[in-house]
Amino acid sequence: MKVYIDGEFYDRSEARISVFDHGLLYGDGVFEGIRIYGGKIFRLREHLDRLYDSAKSILLDIPMSKPDMEKAVSDTVQINERNEGYIRLIVTRGAGELGLDPGQCARPTVIIIAGDIQLYPPEYYDKGIAVVTASSRRMPSDSLDPRIKSLNYLNNVMAKIEAGQAGCLEAVMLNHEGYVSECTADNIFLVRSGKIATPAVNCGALGGITRSAVIELAGSLGIEVREAQLTRYDLYTADECFMTGTGAEIVPVVKIDGRGIGEGQPGPMTKRLAEEFRKLAGRQQ
């Protein structure tokens, strides 16, 4: 594997950054997770828009233009001869001093890794997963807007640990007001009476690229989608529930906090959207 760091490619064992990088010292940086399907990079423009928006909002000047970044990502995929896989694109504040001041960091570090990802074992796509609500909440937007895909994932990591402690693979996270925001690394959707709803981004959800794709797909199938303030009650009483994310794609959720959702198995709308998503992504069944 060849890893891109600041314009050069390094063997995996040689790919290193400074221990004074503020990405490591303070989680000061932003990132993206992107999929490669059949040699094509899925929705790269949208990922780059989100990356540059995240960077802008934390006053991080990415030291390359979007077209140059697009090329760097494609080059990394090509040099690794990747036809399927996952890209991790990271921009940190760069190496500086032992102090918060980003002004001490000379230049942001750009890292691109093209590798594999498998988030959930295949059987969960057929039978669905059980999730619990975590006590760790999403960050309020007046602290750090959860739309920023930053290197600060600690409360999501805490929620993921809580999921594991409850014997589940994922957790639902609420915002500071108690409304549902998303899962630890995936957006969440529910289906009720043939209509779809998902938490609005101002409820603490990341503007997921898969989330947008699913909203578009539903629209093209004539299915109504509402972006709303949802509570756990809405989840518990849904006919179907599913999660979406770049790595996970569409995963049926069949149990939440011990309550079976709908029939307790993946529902027809979830299956239909998962099938349409696979087509959109150009994936073979």
In the complex, the residues that contact ligand PMP under the rule CB under 6 A are 33, 156, 182, 185-187, 206, 208-211, 244-246
Quote the CA–CA distance of 120 and 107 in Å, as a whole number. Answer: 36
Minimum separation from the CB atom of position 8 to ligand PMP (A): 27
> C-beta of 246: minimal distance to ligand PMP in Å?
3
Tell me the one-letter amino acid at 197: A
Residue type, 253: V
Q: Which residue has the tokens 């314009």?
A: 7
Residue 2 designated active-site = no
Which CB sits closer to ligand PMP, 4 or 42?
42
Q: Give least dist CB 260 to ligand PMP, A.
A: 24
> Which residues does 264 contact at the CB level (< 8 Å), separation at least 6?
254, 255
Q: Which helix (H) or strand (E) holds 133?
A: strand 129-133
Kindly tell me which of 63 and 207 has the beta carbon lying closer to ligand PMP.
Answer: 207
The alpha carbon of 48 is separated from its chain's Cα centroid by a whole number of angstroms, namely 14
Of 96 and 146, nearer to ligand PMP (C-beta) is: 146
- Are 242 and 218 within 8 A, CB to CB? no
| Catalytic-role residue among 149, 160, 255, 271 | 149
Nearest distance, CB of residue 209 and ligand PMP, angstroms: 4
Helices (H) and strands (E) in the chain, counts: 8, 15
Give the containing element (helix H, strand E) for 122: none
One-letter amino acid at 51 equals: L
Check: CB of residue 4 under 8 Å from CB of residue 90. Answer: no
Task: Output the smallest distance, CB 182 to ligand PMP, in A.
Answer: 5
Nearer to ligand PMP, 156 or 175 (CB): 156
What is the C-alpha separation between 134 and 155, in angstroms, rounded?
A: 10
Q: Tell me the pairing of strands 109-115 and 225-228.
A: unpaired
- Nearest-Å Rg of the Cα atoms of the chain is 19
How is residue 54 written in tokens?
């995240």
* Residue whose CB is less far from ligand PMP, 9 or 153: 153
Active site members:
149
